[in-house]
């Protein structure tokens, strides 16, 4: 899927790279803008359609990729927190109601619905009913098998289930239970070290050519736990957390460092607030240095490129925005956000004053172009396909940018 010219799943591929080999020109103009409404996810793009979820409205929408006209809508039984995955003629997604859905990508007709949660138990979360074992919207697909989790934490409500599901039929192939307390005493296990203990919280799944990852937990393609894997993208909070807690960065590696996730105690971690990568280079936005203690001053924010093999810095530069979305399209790095100095940008607010879309050369970080936006992007809310850039914004709209002068 890394070579897929479409953007058929969250962050383009199973590695969640945010990279597409399909080129997008730096000279852009707005082709269309569509009002979807609600709090939007990032988009996915495949088969001539753009797919996006309105999280709190439980709604998945499909738009025509050429015109932005509505193609269909589907309403699930709970929040859908991330965009669907496109596989063949299916759009697959999970819901906070604990179900996984498969609908026809052409018209949104339901093909099957599977309860990934162990039971129908409901709880109230931020004013809405959800399953006690919810699923993420983004479903990982490998070789005709969909991988989805159900559950909040390996310490709560019986833990997390890693489900393997036949894409065509919705049949459960296997369930891997993740439950951390001692099954007899109910006590938590011993800590690994300072502020670290075994277990897991749910997050969007990641995969490479051998393994499936839930944060730093490693599984083979059959869902069996493995002792170790390869460096991959993982988070301390979760991929969808747009609040940016202190020192809780995205990490490219196999583990976190101390409680804060990434700190000066571990020199080998590659980390940033948001990252994108190809086979040789990792691009990101984040601080130059992050210390293990708040007694020290963390480094300044900058846009950067580092070697994927050894972490050596290739270039770094300050940018005038707080980067909230990033896409690597062939040789151009696109970023979008609000001016870095505004209170709204620091709080992740929706004030549109000064919101920008910017393009940079991957070779040396040279700025290629910048464009004003009517509204800031949703966090990690960009996708690229077929020579176009698609952007979901905080005002509930999806915009398409194509070649322009």
Q: What is the pLDDT of residue 264?
A: 45
Task: Encode pLDDT of 206-227 as tens digits.
Answer: 999 999 999 999 999 999 999 9
Is 330 domain-assigned? yes
pLDDT score recorded for residue 180: 87
The enclosing H or E element of 345 equals helix 343-346
Domain that holds residue 336: 19-403
**5 within domain boundaries:** no
Residue 193: predicted pLDDT:
59
Which residues in the chain show pLDDT less than 50? 259-260, 263-265, 343
Domain contains 42: yes
pLDDT of residue 340: 83
For the domain that residue 77 is a member of, what is the CATH number? 2.140.10.10
Which residues lie closer than 8 Å to 341 by C-beta, 6 or more apart?
A: none
> Who's near 265: CB < 8 A, 6+ residues apart?
257, 258, 292
Q: Is residue 13 part of a domain?
A: no
Strands of the sheet containing 377-385, edge to edge, are 28-35, 397-403, 388-393, 377-385
C-alpha 245: how far from chain center: 17
**CB 263 within 8 Å of CB 292:** yes
Q: How many domains does the chain have?
A: 1
Q: What are phi and psi of 57, to 5 degrees?
A: -95, 0
Tokens linked to 80: 């859908």
Question: What phi and psi values does residue 346 have, to the nearest 5 degrees?
Answer: -65, -30
Q: Answer whether 196's CB lies under 8 Å from 145's CB.
A: no
- Beta carbons within 8 Å of 188's beta carbon, 6+ residues apart: 155, 180, 181, 182, 197, 199
pLDDT computed for residue 387 by the predictor: 95
CA–CA distance from 118 to each of 50, 168, 199, 204 (Å)? 32, 22, 19, 19
Q: Which two tokens stand for residue 366?
A: 């040279």
The reply to whether 9 falls in a domain is: no
Across the beta sheet with 212-214, what order do the strands follow?
Answer: 206-207, 212-214, 217-219, 225-226
Inside any domain, residue 14: no
**Overall pTM > 0.75:** yes
Establish if 326 belongs to a structural domain: yes
pLDDT of amino acid 242: 92
Q: Is residue 1 part of a domain?
A: no
pLDDT value of residue 295: 53
Looking at residue 287, its pLDDT comes to 86
């Amino acid at each position: 899927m890394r070579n897929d010219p479409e953007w058929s799943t969250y962050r383009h591929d199973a590695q969640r790279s945010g990279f597409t080999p399909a080129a997008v020109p730096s000279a852009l103009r707005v082709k269309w803008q569509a009002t979807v409404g609600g709090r939007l996810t990032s988009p996915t793009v495949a088969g001539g359609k753009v797919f996006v979820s309105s999280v709190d409205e439980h709604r998945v929408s499909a738009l025509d990729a050429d015109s932005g006209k509505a193609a269909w809508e589907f309403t699930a039984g709970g929040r859908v927190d991330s965009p669907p995955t496109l596989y063949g003629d299916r759009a697959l997604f999970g819901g906070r109601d604990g179900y996984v859905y498969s609908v026809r990508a052409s018209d949104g007709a339901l093909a099957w619905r599977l309860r990934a949660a162990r039971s129908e138990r409901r709880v109230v979360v931020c004013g809405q009913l959800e399953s006690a074992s919810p699923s993420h919207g983004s479903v990982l697909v490998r070789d005709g098998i969909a991988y989805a989790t159900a559950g909040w934490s390996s310490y709560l409500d019986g833990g997390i289930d890693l489900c393997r599901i036949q894409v065509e039929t919705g049949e459960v192939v296997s369930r891997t239970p993740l439950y951390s307390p001692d099954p007899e005493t109910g006590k938590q296990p011993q800590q690994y070290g300072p502020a670290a203990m075994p277990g897991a919280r749910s997050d969007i799944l990641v995969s490479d050519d051998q393994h499936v990852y839930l944060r730093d937990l490693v599984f083979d393609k059959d869902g069996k736990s493995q002792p170790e894997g390869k460096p991959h993208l993982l988070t301390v909070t979760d991929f969808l957390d747009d609040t940016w807690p202190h020192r809780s960065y995205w990490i490219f590696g196999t583990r976190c460092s101390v409680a804060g996730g990434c700190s000066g105690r571990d020199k080998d971690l590659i980390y940033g607030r948001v990252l994108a990568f190809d086979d040789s280079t990792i691009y990101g936005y984040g601080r130059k240095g992050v210390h293990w203690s708040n007694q020290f001053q963390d480094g300044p924010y900058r846009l950067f490129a580092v070697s994927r093999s050894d972490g050596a810095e290739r270039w770094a530069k300050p940018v005038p925005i707080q980067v909230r979305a990033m896409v690597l399209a062939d040789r151009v790095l696109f970023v979008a956000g609000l001016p870095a100095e505004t209170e709204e940008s620091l709080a992740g607010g929706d004030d549109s004053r000064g919101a920008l879309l910017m393009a940079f050369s991957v070779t040396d970080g040279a700025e290629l172009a910048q464009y004003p936006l009517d509204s800031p992007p949703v966090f990690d809310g960009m996708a690229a396909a077929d020579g176009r850039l698609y952007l979901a914004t905080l005002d509930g709209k999806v915009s398409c940018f194509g070649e322009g002068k």
